[in-house]
C-alpha cells in the first residue's frame, strides 16, 4: 500500500504491469485468513457438505484475491497518477471483495481453523455480552448502510482524498475504512451462515437501491464535471489523457462496474424473495396432481372432467 520506491513515470508499461508490491501488512493477514479458512473448511466440508461446498471456497478465495489486487497490484501506485486506477481500487475494496468473502460463509471455517485452545478462547469472547452487542450494532442494516455511505463520501471529499494521496498512513486508514464499512454493508445482504436475516428480502432490495443511487450520484459528478475535483492530479504529468478526461473515465468506471455489482446483488435478492412463492406453487401443483390421480380424473378448464 506504500508509495512505490521507483517513480512510475520512469517505467515502461510492461514494467508497470509487473510492479506488484508484496506489503507485509496486507500479505500476512490475507495469508493467515486463507490458512485458517481452508483448514477449517476442510474439516467442516466433511461434516456439512451441504453448507460448505466448492462454491463457498471459491468465493472466499476470490474475495482474498480481490483484496490482493486492490492493495498489492500496480493499481495502488498508479492511483497516485491516475484517478481511474484509484477508483478501480476502491471498487474492489467496496463492492467486489466484501460480498465474495461473505459468500464463503467464513465465520465457522475461520473459528474451526484455529488451534483448539485459541478456538475456545475466541468462542468464549464472542459469547460475551459486549461482543454480542457490538455484533448486533455492526450488522444492523441501518448502521451498516450509514457507515458505508459516510465512508464513501468522506474519503471522496477533496480534502480527505488529497490527504490520503499525500500520506501513507492516511492511505492505509482510507483503505481500512472502505473495507470494514463495506463488510458491514454487505453482511445483511448476504447473511452468511450461521447469521440470521435481519430484514426481509424486499427491504434489502430498497437498501441496495438507495446505496446504488448515492454511488451513482458521485459517479455522475466525476463524469460530467467541467473542472478537476482533485487538484493533486493536475500536478502529475501523464501521457494521453488530460486530468479532466481521466476524471471522467474514473466516474464511468465507478458508474458501470459499480452498478453491475449492485444489479447482480439485486437480482439475487429478487430471485430469493420469489423462491417461497415458487415452492408453494410447486407444492400446490403436486397436491393437485396427486388428488387427480386418486380420483381417476384429469382437470380441464372451467372445472370440467374428462
How many other C-beta atoms can be found within 10 angstroms of the C-beta atom of residue 83? 27
Instruction: Kindly state the cell numbers that stand for 3.
Output: 508509495
Can the peptide bond before residue 194 be classed as cis, meaning omega within 30 degrees of 0?
yes
Q: How many other β-carbons are positioned within 10 Å of the β-carbon of residue 188?
A: 23
Is the pLDDT confidence value at 116 over 70?
Answer: yes
d(CA 37, CA 153): 33
- Give the angle 296-302-304 at the CA atoms, nearest 5°: 30
Q: pTM, whole model, 2 decimals? A: 0.83
Decide: helix, strand or coil at residue 237. coil
pLDDT digits (tens, 9 = 90+) for 9-64: 444 555 555 667 788 889 999 999 999 999 999 999 999 988 899 999 999 999 99
* Separation of alpha carbons 85 and 74, rounded Å: 9
Residue-range domain boundaries for the chain:
8-294
What integer pLDDT is reported at residue 227 of this predicted model?
92
Amino acid at each position: 500500500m506504500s508509495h512505490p520506491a521507483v517513480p512510475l513515470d520512469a517505467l515502461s508499461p510492461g514494467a508497470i504491469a509487473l510492479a506488484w508490491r508484496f506489503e507485509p501488512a496486507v500479505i500476512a493477514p490475507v495469508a493467515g485468513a486463507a490458512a485458517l479458512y481452508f483448514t477449517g473448511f476442510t474439516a467442516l466440508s466433511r461434516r456439512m457438505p451441504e453448507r460448505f461446498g466448492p462454491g463457498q471456497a471459491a468465493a472466499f478465495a476470490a474475495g482474498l484475491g480481490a483484496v490482493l489486487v486492490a492493495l498489492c497490484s500496480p493499481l495502488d501506485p498508479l492511483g497516485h497518477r491516475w484517478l481511474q486506477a484509484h477508483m478501480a481500487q476502491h471498487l474492489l475494496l467496496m463492492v467486489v471483495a466484501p460480498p465474495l468473502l461473505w459468500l464463503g460463509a467464513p465465520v465457522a471455517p475461520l473459528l474451526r481453523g484455529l488451534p483448539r485452545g485459541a478456538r475456545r478462547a475466541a468462542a468464549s469472547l464472542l459469547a460475551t455480552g459486549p461482543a454480542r452487542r457490538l455484533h448486533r450494532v455492526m450488522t444492523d442494516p441501518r448502521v451498516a448502510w450509514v457507515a458505508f455511505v459516510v465512508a464513501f463520501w468522506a474519503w471522496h471529499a477533496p480534502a480527505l482524498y488529497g490527504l490520503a494521496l499525500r500520506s501513507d498512513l492516511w492511505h492505509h486508514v482510507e483503505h481500512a475504512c472502505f473495507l470494514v464499512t463495506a463488510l458491514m454493508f454487505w453482511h445483511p445482504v448476504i447473511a452468511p451462515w450461521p447469521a440470521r436475516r435481519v430484514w426481509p428480502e424486499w427491504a434489502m432490495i430498497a437498501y441496495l437501491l438507495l446505496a446504488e443511487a448515492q454511488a451513482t450520484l458521485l459517479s455522475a459528478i466525476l463524469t460530467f464535471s467541467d473542472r478537476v475535483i482533485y487538484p493533486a492530479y493536475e500536478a502529475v504529468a501523464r501521457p494521453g489523457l488530460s486530468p479532466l478526461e481521466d476524471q471522467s473515465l474514473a466516474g464511468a468506471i465507478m458508474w458501470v462496474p459499480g452498478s453491475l455489482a449492485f444489479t447482480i446483488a439485486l437480482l439475487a435478492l429478487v430471485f430469493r424473495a420469489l423462491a417461497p412463492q415458487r415452492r408453494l406453487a410447486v407444492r400446490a401443483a403436486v397436491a393437485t396432481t396427486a388428488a387427480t390421480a386418486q380420483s381417476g380424473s384429469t382437470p380441464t378448464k372451467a372445472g370440467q372432467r374428462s
